[in-house]
Structure 1
């Protein structure tokens, strides 16, 4: 099968590198601010004395740091000075980022669906992007960006965006502590409030532009636990392979020029999984053919551009996919020139 990859121009490579540098700096500062200043500090009078307190913005719980003195005043002044300094630094970086977003569009390097970028940008800010994984055809955007090429449009995603929510007790707790009373579903609606639950499936959401987002939580952690992300658990054939696979994180740039780090499946495991999926007789023939094409396409990307991937070595170390599926991929895709 022949596939055409269009390499980035020198200008596009430079744009991508600069975009990643600026965006990484913005996210780093934003996370540092949220971690260090998730509480406020002030003075509280008790009888005839003033005490310095620190109050958590999430729980409203207060902790006394001692009576007013030169030491507690220094703590108070330092806290507010550092907070103001970092806040100003974030503001300056955000200005640079907005300028970079215009350059991204001008150099025609922006082409990922906005809803995907907007959702993951919010997850980036919350530090949850490693816990929510993009699956399906949209993964190809990550692989082409890593390779510094554009894949022919016909092989890229439809309006469906599949998101596998990686389930973990720690994640559920962290999520509630970080953004109380919100869920992954809530963040999706925060990004675009036109999303509505589909009548066909409760894990599927459709917005006014007919963009479909599927939030999947395949793992079970026992009865009595809320589904992390506020979406229904679903068991899909082969989904456990994806859920326990190696991850690949990549900066992507949306149609609107905005950036976000997207977490998806390791490209080699994606290629093996897609080959396996193409053999499943329950799938429609047109989808099976598309699965096969994507397996070949990603394999070619790995061979031609992802030179740090030792294919044979990594195939031997795949533990979450059956040996039969791996061998079938090796014989029918990898060894076919």
Structure 2
């Protein structure tokens, strides 16, 4: 390949416009892809490539459908259970039932309770129909995502995020560490060229101790444990002996749950639930910086086309934290080069796509 060929913006690696399947906006009538008068058009030597137009359009359409479906799921959950009239003596009473078949009387039959019943039935029917329709749309988008290679997030990561969301626990956890890069590249519409920057066999989840009481109440009401949430994704997830903040599945993929260093009225140590085999979250140095960071959220897509919304920290804070981490004497020397590489990569991405976040 000549230096001129190397300037071609098309990833098909051709310098012949007649053999290029996609029209390149940089080609001019002389065959040279850039006007020398406007050399800013020449692409910079960037550590990523942009998604093609078709993949970008598909991603935009897919996340619109996905977010609408998530809202529809929440609306359908709000009307789970049912309502019916129960005769008691000479009067009918309106009864509200839960999924667990718990029953509560809403009062005797009257114009008010009849209106309440009619409203509930209509809302339930509408919510279920909307959720069913949007679920079908999302499934179609998943097929298109896969066909156009929109994403490359490991399937296990998407499944874990969706399991946490389905359990109603997303607000308590923030993705930190290497997997955050997937959210940044998805939002920017690019793909990092250095696969090593994203290579990892564990996902770090930062648990918000400030919301502990609400979290514990939610888990008790549902009779749930965090380890069982993960086992809905893969039954082989087990707490690692001697490292009780980590769960590992049969393939060696790990989920680590960390927390800020003890502050205010934080308890210590903390087990997420009363279940004997559940996580004991570990304190992470300087994690308060991540906990207080501006949030950053993006829909990520797996190679199979499945989607999940990932909540992480601002890329500005991510880069700053990685620089700090690399400077710590206790940091594993083998991890320092990647910390620095990730920090610089995200800094450059922020300059190009998220400059407003650095202000």
TM range (shorter): 0.7 to 0.9
The question of 1:247 aligning with 2:295 is answered yes
1:249 & 1:99 partners in 2: Cα distance? 23
User: Which residue of 48, 56, 61 corresponds with 1:18?
Assistant: 61
Measure how far apart 1:126 and its partner are: 4.5
Cα distance between partner residues in 1 of 2:201 and 2:59: 25
What pairs up with 1:19-98 in 2 under 5 angstroms?
Answer: 19-35=62-78, 37-57=79-99, 60-62=102-104, 64-69=105-110, 71-98=112-139
Aligned to 1:190, which of 206, 217, 232?
A: 232
Which residue of 2 is the match for residue 228 of structure 1?
272
Measure, in 2, the Cα distance between the counterparts of 1:4 and 1:193.
Answer: 38
**Normalising by structure 2, what TM-score?**
0.79
Map of 2:249 onto structure 1: 207
**C-alpha separation between the residues in 2 aligned to 1:59 and 1:175?**
18
More deviation, 266-275/277-286: 277-286
| Residue 308 of structure 1: how far off its partner (Å) | 2.3
Q: Secondary structure at the match of 1:282?
A: coil
Task: State the partner residue of 2:354.
Answer: 306
How far apart, in 2, do the equivalents of 1:16 and 1:223 lie?
A: 42
Distance in 2 of aligned mates of 1:71 and 1:278? 64
How many residues of Structure 1 are paired with residues of Structure 2 in the alignment? 307
The 3 A distance-change label for structure 1 pair 279 and 115 is same
SS in 1 for 2:327: coil
Query: Aligned-pair distance for 1:115?
Result: 1.8
- Deviation per residue, 1:185-237 (Å, 9 max, x gap): 22111121111111241111111221111122345555599633642131222
> Residues 163 and 230 of structure 2 are in contact (CA less than 8 Å); yes or no, is this contact kept in structure 1?
no
Post-superposition offset of 1:96: 0.7
Contact 1:3-1:297 at 8 Å conserved across structures: no
Distance in 1, Cα, partners of 2:270 & 2:108: 43
Structure 1: tracts of 5 or more residues without a match? 314-337
CA contact (8 A) 1:31 1:126 kept: no
Greater shift in the superposed pair: 233-242 or 213-222:
213-222
| Distance apart, 1:262 and its partner CA | 0.5
Question: Residues 207 and 145 of structure 1: is their aligned pair in 2 closer, same or farther, counting only changes over 3 Å?
Answer: same
Distance 1:127 1:210 in 2: 26
**2:343 aligned residue:** 295
Distance in 2 between residues matched to 1:277 and 1:156, nearest whole Å: 17
- 1:91-125 superposed Cα distances (whole Å, 9 cap, x missing partner): 11101110100100111112111122112223334
Is contact 1:197-1:206 (8 Å) kept? yes
Counterpart secondary structure, 1:233: strand
Alpha-carbon contact 1:137-1:156 (below 8 Å) kept = yes
RMSD: 2.3
Counterpart CA distance in 2 for 1:253 and 1:141 is 9
Q: Which runs of 5+ in 2 are unaligned?
A: 1-44
Matched, 1:260 2:308: yes
- How does the TM-score come out when normalised to structure 1? 0.84
Shift, 1:60, TM fit: 2.3
